[in-house]
Amino acid sequence: MASTPASWRSEAQPFDRIMLYRGDITRVDTAAIVNAANASILGGGGVDGAIHREGGPAIVEECRRIRLADYPDGLPTGQAVITTGGKLPAGRVIHTVGPIWHGGLLGEPDLLAACYRNSLLLAAENNLDSVSFPGISTGAYGYPKDEAASVAVREVRKFLARHARPQTVVFVTFDEESRQLYEQELSR
């Protein structure tokens, strides 16, 4: 699973403007990567912790400024903000807060869809040609991986059908089960 920032492309599966790659999102050199953040946007566990660790202090410093200026109570679920990528191969990080799974009865699918839409909108507004997504909310937040993959693929396809930017979206999965679930969704 180790890759250099440029080699991941040869390992990714293409699906028109969408690509699927199993690996480490912190090694992907798209214009931006999406961070499945917690409301503090100051770092945490899982992909959030990895992005902050690998990206270095510039990311958390910018997140602190955003918190102080715009979100003193934390970034609301479904919203997104953009920062530098620090030392990451990706130049920018889009932070979004996914929903905690409560059985799907508290609006989780709509909130998860908003994460993808708002992240893609930020990418388009910043004229970014490519963005990579992890499986938002599928770790500690407990969102079922199959349902999350369905929401992710649906929202990305809808957005790309109406927008020229980003040119390419990459779904980056950490495990083989998730890769297979995305492959199934993308093959429909």
In angstroms, the CA 125 to CA 40 distance is 23
Backbone angles phi, psi at 8, to 5 degrees: -60, -30
Which of these is catalytic: 48, 70, 73, 175?
48
E strands, 6-108, in order: 13-15, 18-22, 32-37, 80-84, 92-97
Helix (H) or strand (E) holding 171: strand 168-173
Q: Which residues of 30-68 are buried (b: 16+ CB within 10 A; e: fewer)?
A: bbbbbbbbbebbbbbebbbebbbebbeeebbebbeebbe
**Residue 48 among the catalytic residues:** yes
In the sheet with 130-133, reading across from the earlier edge strand, the strands are 13-15, 18-22, 168-173, 130-133, 32-37, 92-97, 80-84
Residues annotated as part of the active site: 48
